[in-house]
Amino acid sequence: MGETPAPVSGPRPTVWVTTVDVSEPRADATPARLTAPVTVDAQGGYWAVDRLRTHLTGAFAVSVVGTAAGDQEQEVRLRLETR
């Protein structure tokens, strides 16, 4: 964490990849301001993806844009916007 992407010429999407540990409850997130909506693709066990979505709701307006479900994992596309 703490890495900043290098500047690029012309409009391009910025892609960040990270692993999020949701095994321990965290303090409630405080609202954060975004300059534009952000798309998040989360993949993992049902419990873990739901915990991530719930935590993000503390900081952003979160909309579920799409889902794909397996027997033990799911993939969810979220749209984050400033609340």
- Structure pTM? 0.79
How far apart (Å, rounded) are the C-alpha atoms in residues 67 and 41? 9
Q: What is the DSSP letter of 36?
A: S
Q: Which tokens sit at 21?
A: 């540990």
How far apart (Å, rounded) are the C-alpha atoms in residues 58 and 27? 10
| pLDDT score of 2 | 62
pLDDT in tens, 20-73: 999 988 888 889 899 999 999 999 999 999 999 999 999 999 999 999 999 999
| pLDDT score of 14 | 78
1: confidence class by pLDDT, cuts 50, 70, 90: low
Measured torsion, CA atoms of residues 7, 66, 34, 82, in degrees rounded to the nearest 10: 180
